[in-house]
């Protein structure tokens, strides 16, 4: 961590420029966890519907399960992500990055299981396979370097890469090449299947 140069940006794992809405769905990271992975996801509730507050309600256990027929399929689900990026680029934070959010589920990356233990989860408002907005890439291009300045980030991957066969997000509509160009991070930080290495 680079405590001096970014001290004004963080307070106990909370990022200054994100809208804070605390989720009860989190826990401590294991002792000695290296927070070296960023995991990108996509989410919309109901799927393909944008602009509401259902994602925020899901992450804070306040979703009205009877408000839409789709919600019955996820009834009782308790999940969270560290960050959520709206279609217009607005950034929300639900869990301190120092804590373990519940975003990855059964997963494996760089020889380790349980990616929740040592990753930071970022949900993008969108539908797997569909394009994302320029404003979302702009937010990622500003957020990811700040994370890498504060934590020992060495990799960035999609949910589809850490849980292949089980998850497909953010999907084929996500432009990994555009993100890599914006971040100017080495190709080795990205999954092989993105075509960047």
Q: Which residues are catalytic?
A: 123
- Phi/psi of residue 137, each to 5°? -65, -35
Helix (H, G, I), strand (E, B) or coil at 74: helix
Who's near 72: CB < 8 A, 6+ residues apart? 65, 66
Which SS3 state, helix, strand or coil, does residue 140 take?
A: helix
Alpha carbon distance 54, 157 (integer Å): 25
- In contact, 21 and 93? CB cutoff 8 Å: yes
Alpha-carbon separation of residue 180 from 80, 104, 138, 183 (angstroms): 26, 22, 12, 5
Q: Are strands 108-109 and 26-27 parallel, antiparallel or unpaired?
A: unpaired
Is the Cβ–Cβ distance between 119 and 82 less than 8 Å? no
């Amino acid at each position: 961590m680079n405590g001096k140069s970014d001290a004004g940006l963080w307070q106990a794992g909370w990022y200054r420029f994100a809208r804070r809405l605390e989720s009860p769905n989190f826990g401590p990271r294991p002792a000695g966890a290296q927070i070296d992975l960023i995991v990108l996801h996509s989410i919309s509730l109901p799927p393909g519907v944008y602009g509401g507050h259902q994602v925020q309600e899901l992450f804070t256990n306040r979703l009205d399960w009877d408000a839409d027929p789709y919600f019955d399929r996820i009834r009782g689900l308790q999940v969270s992500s560290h960050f959520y990026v709206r279609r217009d680029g607005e950034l929300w934070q639900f869990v301190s990055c120092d804590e373990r959010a519940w975003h990855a589920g059964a997963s494996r990356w760089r020889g380790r299981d349980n990616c929740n233990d040592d990753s930071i989860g970022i949900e993008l408002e969108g539908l797997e396979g569909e394009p994302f907005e320029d404003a979302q890439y702009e937010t990622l291009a500003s957020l990811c370097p700040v994370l890498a300045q504060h934590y020992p980030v060495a990799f960035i991957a999609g949910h589809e890469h850490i849980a292949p066969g089980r998850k497909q997000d953010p999907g084929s509509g996500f432009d990994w090449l555009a993100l890599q160009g914006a971040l100017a991070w080495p190709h080795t930080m990205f999954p092989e299947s993105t075509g960047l290495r």
